[in-house]
Structure 1
Amino acid sequence: MAVLDKKDTNNSTTILIKSNEVLSTFRSSLGKSKKKDPSAPYNPYDHREVEHPNGFLGAFIHIVKTSLGTGILAIPRAFKSAGLLVGFIGTILVGLMCTHAIHILVKASQKVCRKTNTPSLGYAETAEEVVKLGPRSLRRFARFSRIFVEGGLFAIHFLADSVYVVFISISLTKLISASYPDIESWPDYSLKLIILIPLLICGQVRELKHLVPFSFIANLMLLLTFGITGYYMFMGIGDVKIEERSLAAGIAGIPSFFSTVLFSMEGIGTIMPVENSMTTSNFIGCPGVLNFAMAVIITLYTSIGFLGYYKFGEETAATITSNLPTKDLPAEIAQAAVAIAVFFSFMLVFYVPVDIVWSKIKYRIPESRWNISQIILRSTMIIIATGIAIAGGENLGLLIDLIGAIFLSTLGLFVPAFLEIIADWDEGFGVLRWRLIKNIIFMVLAFFGMCSGVYYAILDIMGLTE
C-alpha cells in the first residue's frame, strides 16, 4: 500500500471536495432543467405565487374552523330525530360524503388547472372552466355556472355574518344581564353597534395566513364549550339506561336529521381559498390536510350528538347549551366561549363574500388605490351586515336556514358531483360506470337534503315546529 504524505492528502481532499461540488452542481442543474422541461406535466403548485402561503397546520386549523361551527350544538337534537344508532351511523356517513365531495371538487379544479396551465382556481372559476371544457352542448352554461356558485356562496356567507352579529349580541345580553339586569331595557341595536367597532378593526385582516390565529382562538373557544358541555353530559350519565333512548326513531325523523347534520357540517365555501393558499400538494390524498381535519370534525360531531341525546333524551333542546343549568359558572363560561368563537369566526366567513366582490372590482381601480379601496369595501360590507342584523333581529336566522337549505346542499353535494361527471366525460367513469352512478346518488341526496331543509325552514318561519 502506498503511503501518502501530508501534501498528497491535502491535494486528494481538495480534489474530492471539488468533485463533490461539481457533482452537486450537476445534479442541481438536472433538477432545474427537469422543472423547466416544457414536456413535463404542468403542476399547479409549482407555479403558485402566494405572498403568505398556508402550511399544513394553518390549513388544518382553517378547515376545522370552517366545518366546526355553532351548528354542532344542534346535532344532539338531530340524534333525537333519528335515534342513537341511526344518528351515530348517519353522522359518520354524512361526514364521509362531505369529505368526498370536497375531494372531487379539488380534483376537478386541479384537472382543469393542468389543462389550462393555471396555478389556482376558486370554486366559481372551477365550475365555469369545467363546464367550458366539457361536452359542447353544455358549454353555453359555463358563465351561468360561475354566477350561480358565486351568488350562492355570497348569500350564505354574508347572511351568516349577519346572523353571527345577532348571536353575539344575544349571548352578551344573557351574560351581562346576570350582573346588570338593566341591560335588558337597552334598545336591541345597542349591543350590535358596540360589536360593530371591533368587527370593523378585525375585518381588515385580508390574508388567510393572518387569519390562522383567529381560527385558532375560535376553535379553542369551541373546544372549551364542548369540554364544559361534556362535563354536564357525563354528570349522572351512569344513571341513564340505554333502554330509555330510542335507537331508531323512524323514517319521519330522517329528513330533519339529514338536513341538520349536512348544513351544520358543510363548509365547502372556504375550502378552495384554503387549498389555493397552499404551495405544497398535501391538501388531499392520504395522509392529507383534508382527511386529518375531517376525521377530527366527524369524531366531534358524532361524540357531541350521541352523548347529548343519550344524556338529555326527549328534553334535548334545539341547541345543547340550552340544556345547561342557568346561573352556573361553568355554564356561563360556555356561553361566553361560544360568543367569542362566533366573533372570531366572523372574519373567516367574511373572507368569502369580500373576496367575491373584490375580484369583480379591483381591476377597475388603480393599483395605487387598492389599499384604501379594500378598507372602504370591507368597512362598508361589515356595516351593511350589521344593518341587516339590526333590521332582521332574531328572525334573521330563519331566512338563512331557508337560503342555506337551497344553496348548501346544492353547492356542498350536487355541484361537486356534477362537475366530476363533466370532468370525467372524455376519460370514462370506471368499471361499470361506478363514478357516474356514485355521483348520481350524491345528486339525488343533495336534492333530498334541499327539499327537506326547505320544508323545515318554512315550518320554522310559520312557527309550526316544536
Structure 2
Amino acid sequence: MVNIVDGGAKHAPQEMEQFLPGDGKKMYKIQPRKSDAEQALANSDFDPFALRENEHPTTDNETLTHLLKASLGTGILGMPFAFMCSGIVMGIFATIFTAFICTHCSYILVKCGHKLYYRTRRTKMTFAEIAEAAFQKGPKWCRGFAPVAKFSILFGLFLTYFGTCSVYTVIVASNFEQLIAHWTGTAISLRMLICAMLIPMILIAWVPNLKYLAPVSMVANVFMGLGLGITFYYLVQDLPPLPERNYVVWGTLPQFFSITIFAMEAIGVVMPLENNMKTPQSFLGICGVLSQGMSGVTLIYMLLGFLGYLHYGAVTQESITLNLPIEEWPAQAVKLLISLAVYCTFGLQFFVCLEIIWDGIKDKCKKRPTLVNYVLRTVMVTAAVVLAVAVPKIGPFMGLIGAFCFSILGLIFPVVIELIVHWETGFGKYNWILWKNILITACGIGALVFGSLAAIKDIVKAYQDPAPE
C-alpha cells in the first residue's frame, strides 16, 4: 500500500483501487494490470454488441455483398498481367499467399477492435479510433503517439478513397467515351463526359447509409459478374497447352505482389462494414463474413489470372479488357457492364470519405444535421469531379498514393496495432504473433517500395503521351 498524490495516480501504469482510511486521506493499492480474460470477466456486465445502436443495421448477407463489391474492383482486370509477371504456377500460390496476408490483416484489425471495445467500454470504433485507443491503452512509451496514429490513418484513408472516387469518375467517363466513339464514329471530349457524370455521382452519393446502399452493391456485383462472365467466355476459347507459358518467373515477382495487394486490399471499408452490422460477431470466424467473402474473391482472382495469361501469353495487357476484340459487341458489353459496376461502387468508396469528414464536424452541426450532411455530400462529390476534370490522368498518381497508403494502412498499421494490444499480455507461445508480424511488415515494405516504383514509371509513361481533351 502506498500514498500517492491525486495528480500522480493517473500516470501510474498499474491498475489502482482507491479507498479512504479513517483520517480522510486518499490511499491507493497498486494492482497488476488485468489480462484480456480478467478484463472481459470484469466487464461481464458490458456487451458492446448488445448495446450497439444502429438505426439501419445491415444483415450478414448485406455485409457480404458490400465486402465482395469492395474487393472485386477494377483491379481484378489486371490479374492476367500479374500472372504474366509471376508465371502460371507461381501465380496460383502467390495469389493465395497475398489473399491470406490481406485477409489476416483485416481480421486482426477487427479482432483488436473487439478487444478494445471492452477496454474502452465503447460499442463501435473506426480504424483510426482503434489505432488511437490501442496506443492510449498500450505501454507508457507509446501513449504520446496516439493522436499521430489517428491523424495518419484518417489522412491516408481520406486521401486514398477520395482519389479513388475521382478515378472512378474518369474510368466511367473513359469507357463511355470509347463506346460512343465506336458506335457513332464521333469523338467526344473526355472532360465533357466527366462533367456530365456530376449529377449521377451526386445522386448515388445521396444514398443515406450502407443499409440502403446494399441493393446498389448487389446490382454492381451483378454487372461485374456479367462483365467477368463474358470475359471468361473469351478466355476459354482455343486455349494453348500449359507448357507454352512460363511456370515460374522470379525477376518480376515483386510487381505481381504490388498489383495483387492493391487489387485485393479493402482495409478502409472493413470497420465501416463491421460498425454497421446487426450481428458484428459474425464478421470474424472460420466461416464468418470476412472469410467467406475473401475466399470467393481469391478464387475469382486466381481463375481470371490463370485463364487470362494462359490465353494471351506474352501479349497480355495491363487490363484484360484491352485484349478483347473491340469490334465485337460482347467486348463492348464488357466495357458497359464494368462501367456501370464502377458507378455503383462509387457510393461505397465515397462512404469512407464521408464518414471521416462527418465524424469530425457532426458535433458542431446539431441544428440541421441532415441538411448539412447532404450539403457536405454534394460538395465532396463536386470536388472529386472537378479534380477529375482538372487532371484526367490522375490514375497513375492514385497508383502512387495507393501504393504508399495501402501498404502502410493495409499491412503495416494492423500488425503494429496488434503488437501494442498484446504488449502487456504477451505474444503467444514462442512469440508467434511477433514473428508473423515481422514477416507481414517485410511484405508491406516490399509492396511499398516496388509499388511506388511501378507507379512512378506509370506517371512518366502517362505524361509522355498526349493529354486527353
The reply to whether TM is greater than 0.5 is: yes
**2:161 maps to what in 1?**
157
Distance 1:267 1:77 in 2: 21
Cα offset for 1:123? 0.3
Q: In the alignment, what sits opposite 2:436?
A: 438
Gaps of 5+ in 2: 1-40, 465-469
Q: Secondary structure at the match of 2:424?
A: coil
- The answer as to whether partners of 2:67 and 2:293 remain within 8 angstroms in 1 is yes
Equivalent in the alignment of 2:342: 342
- Distance (whole Å) between structure 1 residues aligned to residue 277 and residue 118 of structure 2: 16
Superposed displacement of residue 286, structure 1? 2.4
5 Å matches for 1:181-192?
Answer: 181-182=185-186, 184=187, 186-192=188-194
Q: Over residues 280-309 of structure 1, what are the superposed CA-to-partner deviations in whole Å (9 max), with x where a residue is unaligned? A: 111101221111111100001111111110
Q: Which residue of 1 aligns with 2:356?
A: 356
| 2:136 paired residue among 101, 119, 132 | 132
Task: Report if aligned partners of 1:206, 1:351 keep a CA contact under 8 Å in 2.
Answer: no
Partner residue, 1:422: 420
Give the aligned partner of residue 274 of structure 2.
275
* C-alpha deviation, 1:371, in angstroms: 1.1
Distance 2:117 2:76 in 1: 34
Task: Indicate which of 79, 82, 86 corresponds to 1:82.
Answer: 86
Is the alpha carbon distance of 1:39 and 1:320 closer, same or farther for their aligned partners in structure 2, counting shifts above 3 Å?
closer
> Which structure's residues are more often helix, by fraction?
1
Q: Structure 2: how far apart are the matches of 1:460 and 1:143? A: 34
Deviations 1:26-49 (A, max 9, x none): xxxxxxxxxxx9862532111100
Instruction: State yes or no: 1:376 paired with 2:375.
Output: yes
Which amino acid in 2 is paired with 1:427? Answer: T
- CA 188–60 in structure 1, closer or farther in 2 if over 3 Å, else same: same
Q: Which residue does 2:9 correspond to in 1?
A: none
Superposition pairs for residues 21-36 of structure 1, below 5 Å?
none
| Aligned 8 A contact 1:46 1:279 in 2 | no
Paired letter, 2:232: G
Q: What's the C-alpha RMSD, in Å, of the aligned pairs?
A: 1.5
Contact 1:41 1:114 in 2 (8 A): no
The structure-2 alpha-carbon separation of the partners of 1:121 and 1:39, relative to structure 1 and needing over 3 Å to count, comes to closer
Q: When the two structures are aligned, how many residues end up with a matched partner?
A: 423
Q: For 2:192 and 2:407, how far apart are their aligned partners in 1?
A: 35
| Structure with max Cα Rg | 1
The structure 2 residue matched to 1:204, chosen from 195, 203, 206, is 206
Q: What is the DSSP-based 3-state SS (H/G/I as helix, E as strand, rest coil) of the residue aligned with 2:183? A: coil
Alignment partners' CA distance in 2, 1:398 and 1:193:
21
**Cα shift at 1:463:** 2.0
Q: Which amino acid aligns with 2:426?
A: G
Q: Is the 8 A contact 2:204 2:346 kept in 1?
A: no
Task: Tell me the amino acid that sits aligned with residue 306 of structure 2.
Answer: F
SS at match of 1:429: coil
1:390 aligns with 2:389: yes
Query: Over residues 290-345 of structure 1, what are the superposed CA-to-partner deviations in whole Å (9 max), with x where a residue is unaligned?
Result: 11111100001111111110111001100001111112111111110010001011
The secondary structure found in structure 1 opposite 2:180 is helix
| Paired position in structure 1 for 2:407 | 409
Partners of 1:321 and 1:349 lie apart in 2 by: 23
Amino acid at match of 2:220: A
> Which residue of structure 1 aligns with residue 312 of structure 2?
312
Unaligned runs of 5+ in 1: 1-36
Q: TM-score if structure 2 supplies the norm length?
A: 0.88
- Judged with a 3 Å threshold, the aligned counterparts in structure 2 of structure 1 residues 383 and 213 are, in CA distance, closer, same or farther, namely same
Partner of 1:100: 104
1:198 Cα shift?
Answer: 1.2
Give the structure 1 partner of residue 456 of structure 2.
458
Taking structure 1 as the reference length, what is the TM-score of the superposition? 0.89
Separation of aligned partners in 2, 1:126 and 1:430: 21
Q: Supply the distance in 2 between the matched residues of 1:169 and 1:291 (Cα, whole angstroms).
A: 34
